[in-house]
Amino acid sequence: MNLFQEGTFTGHSGDELHWKIECDALSDNDWKCLARMIHEHEPRPFQSAIGIPRGGMVLGSYLNEYGTGNPKDPYLICDDVLTTGGSMIEFRDKYFSKHETIGWVIWNRGTDDPAILTWVKGLFSMPYYSKEFGNVHMIGMSDGTGGHSEGFYDYKKNEYVTEDEKFKKPKDPTT
């Protein structure tokens, strides 16, 4: 089975996709390593990890090795692939609406939705096309506190765009 598959597929949102990431191709060692990578990049403690059925179940079980069990800590909701983010929002709102949550996915295929970008982080973020911004290439930037802020470069505005808009295009050192 191939991890990356070309063809015509229907995503959770009903959108037609021309390729997919088939995470059933991952081994247990792959899942364990991916969970460790997320743990190393998530600075906040979490009481337990909950995988969205079906794609996030194995990841959630491996992430639980890092859970604190402390009910004062947020839950970590995880999935394998995020395309629109709808399944993450639906799952959080249905089961965890009264709890603080952290969201993680292995692959972020791309979304403009601020309701997703403010709480779900992707271990790997892929370029995608946005009706508002055109071609978007996700980037990671330091937030100045040792943390990490997700963002992208808006070619139309000629600047970096993040959750808090505080990062702008760096000055060219040669000018």
C-alpha 67/C-alpha 62 separation (Å) is 10
Q: Which domain CATH number covers 97?
A: 3.40.50.2020
Is residue 145 situated within a structural domain? no
Is residue 118 situated within a structural domain? yes
Is residue 14 situated within a structural domain? yes
Is residue 34 situated within a structural domain? yes
Residue of 108, 110, 164 whose CA lies nearest to 132? 110
* Cross-strand partners of 129: 135
Averaged pLDDT, 144-171? 50
Domain range spanning residue 109?
4-126
State how many domains the chain has.
1
Pairing assessment for the beta strands 128-130 and 134-136 based on DSSP bridges: antiparallel
Is residue 75 situated within a structural domain? yes
DSSP labels, 43-93:
-S--SEEEEPTTTTHHHHHHHGGG----TTSPEEEEEEEESSSHHHHHHHH
Is residue 18 situated within a structural domain? yes
Residue of 39, 125, 129, 55 whose CA lies nearest to 91? 55
Is residue 157 situated within a structural domain? no
Is residue 136 situated within a structural domain? no
Q: What is the pLDDT of residues 21-48, one digit of tens each?
A: 888 899 999 999 999 999 999 999 999 9
Q: Residue type for 152, please?
A: F
- Residue 137, CA atoms < 13 Å, CB-side half-sphere: 4
Q: What is the pLDDT of residues 82-136, one digit of tens each?
A: 888 888 999 999 999 999 999 999 988 877 677 777 788 888 887 776 777 677 6
- Percent of the chain exceeding pLDDT 90 equals 43
